[in-house]
Chains A and B, each alone.
Chain A
Amino acid sequence: AQKITQTQPGMFVQEKEAVTLDCTYDTSDPSYGLFWYKQPSSGEMIFLIYQGSYDQQNATEGRYSLNFQKARKSANLVISASQLGDSAMYFCAMREGKKGGGFKTIFGAGTRLFVKA
């Protein structure tokens, strides 16, 4: 079973509108972190937002917010007021403990977002 699932290979959104990128995860570890990254065509992975498993409130960073539904194991990214520069690949990632110690970060397959003018 996949640990991180991003079901939308591609998404279109009109400029200035909001868009939700889906992410579901699978873990039995009570302590984990959830991350979203943006990867423009230049290749760099840009950190956007973080949500910890014990955080009571949804994380927000400027136009980005994370809709964290722990019972459903979902961590959707919401981008408000989309801009043309938001066109990129978006990756959801989870950091969890490993058997034997240490932590690992697992990335989803990504969602490509296209913002239309």
Chain B
Amino acid sequence: ETGVTQTPRHLVMGMTNKKSLKCEQHLGHNAMYWYKQSAKKPLELMFVYSLEERVENNSVPSRFSPECPNSSHLFLHLHTLQPEDSALYLCASSPSWGVFTDTQYFGPGTRLTVL
């Protein structure tokens, strides 16, 4: 199993649905991240977990709820989303959170469409 994996790769959901995105890293890293990538906008950091503790929440609406049960797994629970939430959601991991030299390694992303 390589690097960082994400499932599902594509997701279409209605505004009233509840779904979850899953991320798994096989790199032995201690930090994990959720990013949102919308068309024609820079990558937006959503959440950061370090050693399973949430250390950053960048003013993300409560309809996005992250969960990090262990250092290898990260989830993003979705409920009552809006069409503007349609985007590519990227998960990343890095050896640690508190060092400027740490490189983030990304998964393939989940392409989310909210109808």
Contact = CB atoms under 8 A, between A and B. Distances in A.
Q: Is B a genuine binding partner of A?
A: yes
Interface of A: 31-33, 35, 37, 42-47, 50, 52-53, 91, 95-97, 101-110
22 contacts: A31-B100, A33-B100, A43-B108, A43-B111, A44-B107, A44-B109, A47-B103, A47-B104, A47-B105, A50-B103, A52-B100, A91-B43, A95-B100, A95-B101, A102-B55, A102-B56, A103-B97, A103-B100, A104-B56, A105-B45, A108-B42, A109-B42
Interface residues of B, number: 22
Contacts of B106: 37, 44-47
Nearest to A53: B100
Contact of B45 (A97, A101, A104): A104
Binding site of A, secondary structure by majority: helix, strand, loop or mixed? strand
Interface in B82-115: 88, 90, 92, 97-109, 111
Contacts, number: 59
Interface of B: 42-43, 45, 55-56, 88, 90, 92, 97-109, 111
